[in-house]
Amino acid sequence: MRIDVITIFPEYLEPLNVSLVGKARARGQLDVRIHNLRDWTHDRHNTVDDSPFGGGPGMVMKPEPWGEALDAVTAEAGEQLPVLVVPTPSGLPFTQELAVELSERPWLVFTPARYEGIDRRVIEEYGDRFDVREVSIGDYVLAGGEAPVLVIVEAVARLLPGVLGNAESHRDDSFAPGAMADLLEGPVYTKPPVWREREVPEVLLSGHHGKVARFRRDEAFRRTTANRPDLIERCDPAALDKLDRKL
Ligand SMILES: Nc1cc(-c2ccc3ccn(Cc4ccccc4)c3c2)n[nH]1
């Protein structure tokens, strides 16, 4: 998979050099290219923003630098067209389902903006040619799109074949379709068996796989009911029932 990110804060994307994504890049599983939007400005101040038509607070990112940057970055798009991922507070919710869909595409181009966003005509211009996805990572307001890019890239990269080590798996992730009937993960424990007089639940030391699975399912159900009752509503009763029968 190829990933391009166009940003006025390239240093914000440094975390893509470390950990899971950094290792995947080093192994050649991911080709990540970070571009500075200001490389496509031509004035003395490398201007990327201007005041909004119609008035109002803040500034809007000018279309010209984005147009030149996107033309340059997508120049070699032959049959393989990229998905343009535009982080925005007003986008489609980013979900595990969308992460899975994006992980199956060969090329993602991210356009994290700042200020009040990018001149709408840029989205329209490239929406005619590419698959443009405006994506929100949650119902809270950030100051720009770089943090969402880090979130989306990590969620997508960990789904790529061979990126997660054997010891880890995304099969039973929370939100992974069908995993644990879409319940949240339950609590996890490791050695020591007693820590500050706090013991690990006995069942987890029992070696009885059926009882361990039942404990984990019950804890997942309890935690989901407490924190995300909406997910219980969404749960397919048959999947829950299947889980019961499996245990
Ligand atoms: N889930 C999510 C995404 C964002 C986000 C993404 C990109 C940008 C670019 C500029 N801003 C600032 C902004 C604040 C409010 C209204 C418009 C723009 C951004 C915010 N916030 N929250």
Residues 63-74: tens digit of each pLDDT: 999 999 999 999
Q: What is the sign of the dihedral through the CA atoms of 234, 237, 238 and 241?
A: positive
102 shares a domain with 49:
yes
Annotated catalytic residue within 38, 158, 214, 222: 158
Q: Tell me whether residue 175 is in a domain.
A: yes
Domain of 236, in residue numbers: 171-247
- Cα(203) to ligand 1 centroid in Å equals 46
Instruction: Give the atom of ligand 1 at the shortest distance from the alpha carbon of 94.
Output: 1
Question: Any idea what the CATH number is for the domain that residue 186 is in?
Answer: 1.10.1270.20
Residue nearest to atom 17 of ligand 1 (CA): 116
Q: Tell me whether residue 68 is in a domain.
A: yes
247 shares a domain with 224:
yes
Q: Tell me whether residue 138 is in a domain.
A: yes
Collapsing DSSP states into helix, strand and coil, what is residue 169? coil
Q: What is the pLDDT of residues 147-156, one digit of tens each?
A: 999 999 999 9
Task: Please give the ipTM for the structure prediction.
Answer: 0.99
Q: What is the pLDDT of residues 89-98, one digit of tens each?
A: 999 999 999 9
137 shares a domain with 115:
yes
98 shares a domain with 57:
yes
201 shares a domain with 138:
no
Q: What is the pLDDT of residues 207-217, one digit of tens each?
A: 999 999 999 99
Among residues 106, 128, 157, which one ends one of the domains? 157
Give pLDDT tens digits along the chain (247 positions).
Answer: 999 999 999 999 999 999 999 999 999 999 999 999 999 999 999 999 999 999 999 999 999 999 999 999 999 888 899 999 999 999 999 999 999 999 999 999 999 999 999 999 999 999 999 999 999 999 999 999 999 999 999 999 999 999 998 667 776 677 765 545 689 999 999 999 999 999 999 999 999 999 999 999 999 999 999 999 999 988 777 766 666 565 5
115 shares a domain with 43:
yes
Q: In this structure, which long-range contacts are made by residues 90-95, counting pairs with CB atoms below 8 Å and at least 24 apart in sequence?
A: 90/134, 90/136, 91/133, 91/134, 91/135, 91/136, 92/133, 92/134, 92/135, 92/136, 93/135, 93/136, 93/138, 94/135, 94/136, 94/137, 94/138, 94/148, 94/151, 94/152, 94/155, 95/175
121 shares a domain with 182:
no
Q: Tell me whether residue 165 is in a domain.
A: no
Longest dimension (CA), the chain: 70
Q: Tell me whether residue 162 is in a domain.
A: no
Distance separating alpha carbons of residues 134 and 90, to the nearest angstrom: 8
Residue nearest to atom 19 of ligand 1 (CA): 144
How much is the mean pLDDT over the chain?
Answer: 93
Structure tokens at 148: 């969402």
Instruction: Give the atom of ligand 1 at the shortest distance from the alpha carbon of 88.
Output: 6
